[in-house]
Amino acid sequence: MAPILLPMPGAEALAAAIAAALPGATLAELALRRFPDGEHHLRVGGEVAGADVRVVARLDHPDATILPLLFAADVLRDLGVRRVGLVAPYLPYMRQDRRFAPGEAVTSASFARLISRAFDSLVTVDPHLHRRRSLDEIFFIPTAIAHAAAPIGAWIAANIERPLVVGPDEEAGQWAREAARQAGAPCVILSKTRSGDRQVALTAPDLAAHAGRTPVIVDDIVSSGGTVGEAAGLLAAAGLGKPVVLAVHALIGEADMARLAPRIARLVSTDSVTHPSNAIPVAGLLAEALAASAI
Ligand code: R5P
């Protein structure tokens, strides 16, 4: 059954682009407003009873979005929707994937339980899977993942001469190695130790063989910019130029970006998170993942 895509506020253009790339898909509307006291009012426009509805939601800055998202899933069930799926190009809370100190919440698992109770399926772009190998370890609904490494590699091939792809840590290796393969470029992976939200220490292998190449850092997430900033410092110390940075999910805010900007040549990202650095669209990837998975 071709799905109806229902965008949450801020995801209208993304939902329309996915619908345009997904044969038979149509769009529905969710009107969301707040009462004077701040509580949400929701109204689904159009006929949805018996349909397969995919709620399309941007979940960066998730805390303000989650409650209306759960209300949306609930009202859809109440209106007789057959299956309620979630399409979220960025999946938040995935980095807290272990109890690092006694008593800490493992919010990736808590978040996964919350979403699994409300939705029948999840489609996302490159979730942060580090200590977990698969979303199935924490979600108990079917999931499908769209991968951005190939279009990132294609962007590098089209825009950078003699690139050296750099993964700033072993977690980023999965994206860096694949993007480098796509771009036909060499790849090096740095080692990272994190000591705080913004404090990381990196080490690099010998980079002498790559003199004259343009360094291109590929990472899944740029958040505080600490990792990329440190990597840029190491590359400069090795005699390489300022790096171009390719991120799947650009979460970095204005103040941190202002601190990072002098250290890099440019930040380029997919539009999984709306950001001034967006250059690589994910709608086609999400449409392919929706079409290819029978979830
Ligand atoms: C690490 O686990 C991720 O792959 C990114 O390297 C990390 O999230 C980047 O965070 P920040 O920009 O705050 O260093």
The reported pTM is: 0.96
Q: How high is the pLDDT of residue 130? A: 85
Q: How high is the pLDDT of residue 193? A: 93
242 catalytic, yes or no?
no
Name the active-site residue from 192, 213, 249, 263: 192
Which residues, in sequence order, are CB contacts of 181 under 8 Å at separation 6+? 153, 187
Nearest ligand 1 atom to the CA of 198 is: 13
Residue nearest to atom 7 of ligand 1 (CA): 221
Q: What is the average pLDDT score of the chain?
A: 96
Q: For the residues 38-64, what does the mean pLDDT come to?
A: 96
Q: How high is the pLDDT of residue 294? A: 77
- Judge if the beta carbon of residue 225 lies within 6 A of ligand 1: yes
Alpha carbon of 220 to ligand 1 centroid (Å) = 8
Q: How high is the pLDDT of residue 1? A: 77
Question: What percent of the chain lies above the pLDDT cut of 70?
Answer: 100
- Judge if the beta carbon of residue 178 lies within 6 A of ligand 1: no
- Judge if the beta carbon of residue 171 lies within 6 A of ligand 1: yes
Asked if pLDDT for residue 295 goes beyond 90, the answer is no
Q: How high is the pLDDT of residue 293? A: 86
Q: State which amino acid sits at residue 278.
A: N
Residue range 211-242, pLDDT digits in tens: 999 999 999 999 999 999 999 999 999 999 99
Asked if residues 83 and 119 have their Cβ atoms less than 8 Å apart, the reply is no
Q: For the residues 81-87, what does the mean pLDDT come to?
A: 98
Asked if residues 115 and 86 have their Cβ atoms less than 8 Å apart, the reply is yes
With bands split at pLDDT 50, 70 and 90, how would you rate the model's confidence at 258?
A: very high
d(Cα 145, Cα 286) in Å, to the nearest integer?
8
- Mutate which of 94, 97, 194, 220 for ligand 1? The one with the most ligand atoms within 8 Å of its CB, which is 220
Q: How high is the pLDDT of residue 2? A: 85
